Amino acid sequence: MRDETATAVDFPALRARLGAKALTLPVIFATGGEILDAAEPPPGVAVQRIAILGSLTTDFITRAVACALVLEGVWPVIYQAPFGSLIQEALDPGSPLHRFAADGVLVATDWRDGVDPLPIGASAEAVAAARADKVALFENLWTALARGGHCRILQHLMAPPPMRFCGPAERFADAAPERQVAALNAALLATGRGRVSWIETDRLAAEAGFTRFASPANYYAARIGFDQRFLPDYVAYFRAAFRAAFGRAKKALVLDLDNTLWGGVIGDDGVGGITLGPGSPAGEAFADWQSYLRDLRARGIVLAVCSKNDPEIAATGFTHSASVLRREDFAAFECSWENKADGIKRIAKALNLGLDSLVFLDDNPAECDLVAGALPEVAVVPLGDDPGKFIERLDATRWLYLESYTAEDLARAEAYAAREAAAAEARGATDLGSYLDGLAMRGRIWRPEEGDIARVAQLEQKTNQFNVTTRRFSEAEIRAFLGDDNAIVLAFHLRDKFGDHGLVSTLIAQPAEDGKTLHIVSWLMSCRVFSRTAEGFILRHLLALASARGFARLRGEYRPTAKNGVVADLYPRLGFAEDGAGEGGAQFWVRAVDAGDDIITAIALA
């Protein structure tokens, strides 16, 4: 790995952050178990087993991945497969790759994997047939690598080849290498949805310049797929895909106000004195930045404010005639003269999100340093003093990465607005029962259909707090559960008088070996609807199904993590009795199906 890569990932900072006395590289195994590099993980840092395989040299990628994952706060133990062994290692169940039992596998592809040597005049049908063969091959590889859902798959999208041949004529030829690669990427994205997390190597190549990124000299010298100068950029792209694959995605932006959403200080300059909108380059840049944030909100990213300001005066900034954003666009609005780290803690509590779900943006480097030091879980983006670069600075971090949009993503802003309206009503309520009844909640529960699977899988990947086992099921695995007549799969949708919260909870249960016990394999719920008695509504339905199928008992499982303490008492609250413990701190609870109707819920059936 080049020296500038080590500098870019800032090893001294990593030592300080992870408490390591010495940080070289994590354990990296080559073919046959040879240890290339080794360092012990710091105490208390989780270990992640990652395998890397591809059709070209992966040595430099291996070290970039090690750096990326340490930056993510996990300690990787990496298996580096032999050169060019992608297909053999994946499809042979006895290969070293499968014996390694990885948590995640990176498939490092290259444009050469996507191009068939077809004549330039080949028909569209011939090109499509060749592409279909490649898609089928990758599907087989994914199935083998996933090991029944126990392993997450990350894969490069293929950057186009650097050669351009005869210019515009290539754009009309289906067999042109660039068109073959683009079409294969599109087909793999569609086929791999819910199965694969994609590293946008094609976009990185476009930013770097195709010829500079994939110089033929590197390929001829050492079968290297792209220039190592771009490893620091690759680290950011890999981290984004890793977070998506392992349920670590960022969910909310926390923004300063003065010189962040407009130019000037609203308390001193007043609405008429701030810089925003037409009339100056800075004003136009701030307006475009607000438009960009509004569009992120429409895509499911939650917006919040944390500013040192008087809240009433601060809100007047959004009455400016050129303001694209309005006060109601923010799910939390924390304005005070206290330090921003404490304000961000209050925002996380108000939104019911973990601190590691938040990204903080501020123009003031001192505030950024304070938050980064006090709240290391929060991602911090220093915006600088040029609003024309704000979008670029946020985009470059790759913090906001979604693999697809669901209906719930696109309606999230309205759902949080409904949640805030309900919270405001709760603050004026004197009795919890009457408050919940006053919400006029209606629930719908059903066995998910094909159109629901993407959202169910998204909840599986992203939900950390109300998640009793933190098992992560992919779309393919959910389809497998749905294809099993013995399994019970439930989706729950909630609305109240303030709005529609969407599909917010899922439950998966399977018969135990004794044939009389129904075991809850997974149960999770969006943080937006905590404390609404939804768990009681869902359990009532599950008990009815269990009774109809002749089960005598329900068995629940709780596996504690650093984030799911909110459901530590879920089963005893719902009338379950202790039923022993298992490996990894697992706790089991059991309830008789005919124990009586003692379950309380304020939600009526829709």
Per-residue pLDDT at 3 exceeds 50: no
Question: Which residues contact residue 158 at a Cβ distance below 8 angstroms, ignoring those fewer than 6 apart?
Answer: 109, 110, 111, 113, 114, 181, 184, 185, 201, 202
Report pLDDT for 191.
93
For 452-512, give the DSSP string.
Answer: GHHHHHHHHHH--SEESS-----HHHHHHHHT-TT-EEEEEEEEETTEEEEEEEEEEEEE-
Per-residue pLDDT at 214 exceeds 90: no
Tell me if the pTM is above 0.85: no
Percent of the chain with pLDDT over 70: 92
Q: Give the confidence band of 375 by pLDDT, cuts at 50, 70, 90.
A: very high
Q: Which two tokens stand for residue 184?
A: 């294969």
- Tens of pLDDT along 426-482? 666 667 787 888 888 999 999 999 989 988 988 888 888 899 998 888 888 899 999
- Tens of pLDDT along 382-399? 999 999 999 999 999 999
Q: Which range has the worst mean pLDDT, 27-36, 138-147, 151-160, 358-367?
A: 27-36
**Residue 123 region by backbone torsions, left for phi larger than 0, else alpha for psi between -120 and 50, else beta:** beta
Instruction: Kindly report the average pLDDT of the chain as a whole number.
Output: 87
- Tens of pLDDT along 546-555? 999 999 999 9
- Tens of pLDDT along 259-275? 999 999 998 889 999 99
Burial class (CB in 10 A: 0-12, 13-18, 19+), 449: exposed
- Tens of pLDDT along 279-319? 899 999 999 999 999 999 999 899 999 999 888 999 999 99
Distance in angstroms (rounded) separating the CA atoms of residues 158 and 110: 6
Q: Give the confidence band of 485 by pLDDT, cuts at 50, 70, 90.
A: very high
The residue written with tokens 């939804």 in the block is: 534
| Sheet order of strands, 302-308 included | 332-336, 302-308, 252-255, 358-362, 379-382
Report pLDDT for 36.
57
Per-residue pLDDT at 15 exceeds 70: no
Strands (E), 2-120: 28-29, 35-37, 47-54, 75-80, 104-108
- Tens of pLDDT along 282-293? 999 999 999 999
